[in-house]
Chain A
Amino acid sequence: MKPINIVESVITPLDRKNVDTDQIISKEFLKRIERTGFGQYLFYHWRFDENGNKRDDFVMNDPRFDDSRILVAHDNFGCGSSREHAPWSIQDYGFDVVIAPSFADIFHNNCFKNGILPIELPVEQVEELLEKGLADGTYSVKVDLENEQITGEDGVVYSFDIDPYNKKMLLNGWDEISITFQYEDYIQAYEEKNQA
């Protein structure tokens, strides 16, 4: 897993709540057996119409946000299906950070396994970011994981909290399975005790 610490870019404001993983990556793209190449299908039915043409009214089709690495959305982002294809497609498309007032549990968990940083901010702050992002021009921020801070181009600072275990995993880009193998003796002992 690729380590992550500082991410600096324009934000992409996706002003929707309860964005479910069916929207993030639609089922017709789940048949592939690879882990890569899902970015082209991200938010497919919001980005493209039935003839495969770009929809003008969808934020990600606005060229201002082409180089964005930070997605900002409303509450309960990533609800629904457990499909890890959702964070795979977000990352493959180019996003390293997702900011929202809240995330659904499985999606939230899946982000950390893939080196994506999900940041929870109070709803008022997310609304402020969305407003700045949706205004004319663009709004850039610098996300600093080590210091748990987001600094806007206008100097506004937003602090966030992140669980220390997940923070360490992201900063170091550690593979969790290799770490768990260091606990082999405990697993063995558990199995013997419980005759699992």
Chain B
Amino acid sequence: MPKTIIEKVWDNHVVYEEEGKPDLLYIDLHLLHEVTSPQAFEGVRLAGRKLRRPDLHYATMDHNVPTKNLPTIQDPIARKQIETLQANCEEFGVELADMGHKNQGIVHIIGPELGLTQPGKTIVCGDSHTSTHGAFGAIAFGIGTSEVEHVMSTQTLWQARPKTMEIRVEGELGYGVEAKDIILAIIAKFGIDVGTGHIIEFTGDAIRNLTMEERMTVCNMSIEAGAKAGLISPDETTINYLRGRERVPQGEAFEEAAKQWLALATDEGATYDTTLTIHADEIEPIVTWGTNPSMGAGISSNVPKASDYTSTSDQEALKKALAYMDLEEGQPLTSIDIQHVFIGSCTNARISDLRTAAKVVEGRKVADGVRALIVPGSQQVKQQAEEEGLDKIFTDAGFEWRESGCSMCLAMNDDVVPAGERCASTSNRNFEGRQGAGSRTHLVSPAMAAAAAVAGHFVDVRDMMKEVQA
């Protein structure tokens, strides 16, 4: 019987199954960072246990780390958390890409970069954006700290088999429309909880034509659609990205592995519990106007009106969101002024994101009154960008060029948006206070963030780029 990649990878990892119980699933790779691991290590220590397979764990520092003036951490509580991860990795024998290490970066950026992320693996991390790794055809999902401890102790997790969902993105993306716009459009169209209880496979021509980095952006925000995980069947694009990376098999062994990886792709004729379709040509660059990622619309449209909704609870949600965001019903999205721009995060801080933003910024200046930050996703991305001279383009335009980390995506470090101010952000969440208490976040693609930095308000980046071509 034809199977989806979701079923194939799941079945390959079942250690034990019994009616009335979740499956006991083997975990191939556990990624760790400083924020959600200390209590798990402490649990292992208090129980007098050790890590079953320390070789299948890889740690880095990302959430808390400062992005300037390394390695000084002013905040004593944050510093303690960082020191705790260092000590725990030492004690339990976990490899750590520490601050200042060449491999340090956002955990979901460095996994793929190093080739730790591979098709067919089960990958977990105490972070919901673990879904990013699904771009390679892995089943990758975020877990809580109790489950982190469970993986540390047993290398397994009890997991109920999720339902399967296909989201087809048909057709071809228009000029200036990015992977970020695909996933924001999907969430806006189908809702913030459409994927609850499911693993989503993204399919269709528009997905096939994406690069690996773009696929990561799409899978990254599967969690914003409520999905347990999101993935894409591996193909030649996947194989070409992985070949030669540090942690993949080399030479003949790689080609052998590649054959097995490609065989994981969903079989012709396999069926899903649910299939949804969206057409790429209906997607334009998106800006979110509200306080969850489904509250977004194309740049040519307006902030919705209460009368656009039929249910009172949706109308209430709109009013609450607009009150927080200080926006008017029916206001054009292009009329929204911004004071901050953040290009970074596990969603959009890879080299291709920085190249796209640099193309928009080159020869232009950041608007007066706008503070704009570029936070590369990893030390490797930073180095590559500097080799290409992108840092120069950004700093010439008035951007700040920073060290790698999660930074202003969740503002655990010093990179904070002040209360009442607005940020065009390439990150993944626009929840109340996400970028600082009282801050207002608008999610956009890197090109749209760059264009907003230049204009001082949201603009259609396609218009801005046309001016150049003309």
Which positions in A face B, CB cutoff 8 Å? 16-18, 20, 22-23, 26-28, 30-35, 45, 50, 74-76, 79-84, 87, 102, 104-106, 109-110, 113-114, 163-165, 176-177, 180-181, 183, 186-187, 190-191, 194, 196
Point out the residues of chain A lying under 8 angstroms from B28, CB to CB: 196
C-alpha gap A191/B15 in the complex (Å): 9
C-alpha gap A163/B410 in the complex (Å): 34
CB pair B15 A183 closer than 8 Å: yes
Which positions in B face A, CB cutoff 8 Å? 12, 15-16, 20-22, 24, 26, 28, 35-36, 38-39, 42, 47, 49, 52-53, 56, 63-64, 75, 77-78, 80-81, 84, 126-128, 141-147, 149-150, 153-156, 158, 160, 192-193, 196-197, 223, 226, 228, 292, 313, 317, 320, 410-412, 419, 429, 431-434, 437-438
Point out the residues of chain B lying under 8 angstroms from A187, CB to CB: 15, 24, 26, 52, 154-156
CB pair A34 B39 closer than 8 Å: yes
CB pair A177 B35 closer than 8 Å: no
18 A-B pairs, CB-CB below 8 angstroms? Answer: A18-B192, A31-B75, A33-B42, A33-B84, A34-B39, A76-B193, A79-B193, A79-B226, A84-B39, A106-B128, A106-B144, A109-B147, A165-B158, A176-B158, A180-B24, A187-B24, A187-B26, A190-B15
Known: A20-B292, A81-B128, A110-B146. A165 touches B193 (CB 8 A): no
C-alpha gap A102/B191 in the complex (Å): 14
Contacting B154 at CB < 8 Å: which of A30, A82, A84, A177? A177
When C-beta atoms are compared, the residue in chain A nearest to B14 turns out to be A190
C-alpha gap A105/B160 in the complex (Å): 11
When C-beta atoms are compared, the residue in chain A nearest to B294 turns out to be A18
C-alpha gap A36/B434 in the complex (Å): 23
Contacting A102 at CB < 8 Å: which of B141, B193, B411? B193
Point out the residues of chain A lying under 8 angstroms from B42, CB to CB: 33, 35
Point out the residues of chain B lying under 8 angstroms from A26, CB to CB: 433, 437
Max chain B CB contacts within 10 Å: which of A45, A105, A176, A187? A105
CB pair A31 B147 closer than 8 Å: no
Point out the residues of chain A lying under 8 angstroms from B153, CB to CB: 177, 180-181
Max chain B CB contacts within 10 Å: which of A22, A32, A79, A164? A79
CB pair A104 B193 closer than 8 Å: yes
Chain B nearest CB, measured from A170 CB (Å)? 13
Known: A26-B433, A82-B128, A106-B143. A31 touches B26 (CB 8 A): no
Chain B nearest CB, measured from A142 CB (Å)? 27
Chain B nearest CB, measured from A28 CB (Å)? 7
Point out the residues of chain A lying under 8 angstroms from B127, CB to CB: 81-82
Chain B nearest CB, measured from A163 CB (Å)? 7
Point out the residues of chain A lying under 8 angstroms from B434, CB to CB: 22, 27
Point out the residues of chain A lying under 8 angstroms from B150, CB to CB: 176-177, 180
When C-beta atoms are compared, the residue in chain A nearest to B292 turns out to be A18
Point out the residues of chain B lying under 8 angstroms from A105, CB to CB: 196-197, 226, 228
CB pair B193 A30 closer than 8 Å: no
Q: Which 8 A-B pairs have the closest CB atoms?
A: A113-B146, A84-B144, A33-B38, A110-B144, A82-B142, A84-B145, A82-B128, A22-B431
Contacting B431 at CB < 8 Å: which of A31, A80, A87? A80
